[in-house]
Amino acid sequence: MAFAGRSNVGKSSAINRITGQKSLARTSKTPGRTQQIIFFSLTDYQRLVDLPGYGFAKAPLTVKQQWQRQVEYYLQHRQSLQGLMLLIDSRHPLMESDWQMLHWCQTVNMPVHILLTKADKFSYGKGQAILQQVRQRLTAFSVAVSVQLFSATKTIGIDTARQRLTQWLTFSDHDSSKS
């Protein structure tokens, strides 16, 4: 199970909240701190993967391009990958780089669960409107795409994200021969 998203979207915080481990993934205020593909072993057959963020990272263009090549290679060749948890800032939903990731997932038939992060920045009604708008824009995708509101800070959507993670990891546990 991999986590992907733009820099500064809250991937590390989400990983920590969803797994219930305060410091499994290292968090930082500086965008682009995750500069490698990082694996977290939960069991012998269950791993979470934190992919380098794309977008706002404070790094030279050549380094960002190297990250992109690493991520593309990993996503194309990792047979045991059961799904992608794509984190998108709910204040700036579905930017071009997010669409690129979604189109890639569709190409390889990779299921995607979108966490619209920083949902605590809005009222409930505004958050629901954003969620509906994003769902509407995703209706054309043939790959399994689900979406939810999420906030690591206010623990919005933690249980739903955990359920999705458990579904994917349970499936991969039964199919451990694919590693």
* Residue 100 binned pLDDT confidence (cut-offs 50, 70, 90): confident
Per residue in 45-95, pLDDT tens?
888 988 887 765 566 777 767 777 777 788 877 878 889 999 999 999 999
pTM: 0.86
CB 1 within 8 A of CB 82: yes
Query: Among 72, 88, 13, 83, which residue's Cα sits nearest to residue 48?
Result: 83
The predicted pLDDT at position 175 comes to 47
Number of domains into which the chain is organized: 1
Domain that holds residue 85: 2-178
Q: What is the pLDDT of residues 135-156, one digit of tens each?
A: 999 998 877 899 999 999 999 9
Domain harbouring 145, CATH code: 3.40.50.300
Tell me how far CA of residue 73 lies from CA of 21, 112, 143, 162, in angstroms.
Answer: 29, 18, 20, 27
Please say whether the beta carbons of 112 and 86 come within 8 A: yes
CA dist., res. 10 & res. 40, Å (int): 17
pLDDT top residue among 154 and 23: 154
| SS3 of the chain: helix, strand, coil, percent, to 5 | 40, 20, 40
Buried b / exposed e over 5-34, threshold 16 CB at 10 Å, is bbbbbbbbbbbbbbeeeeebbebeeebbbb
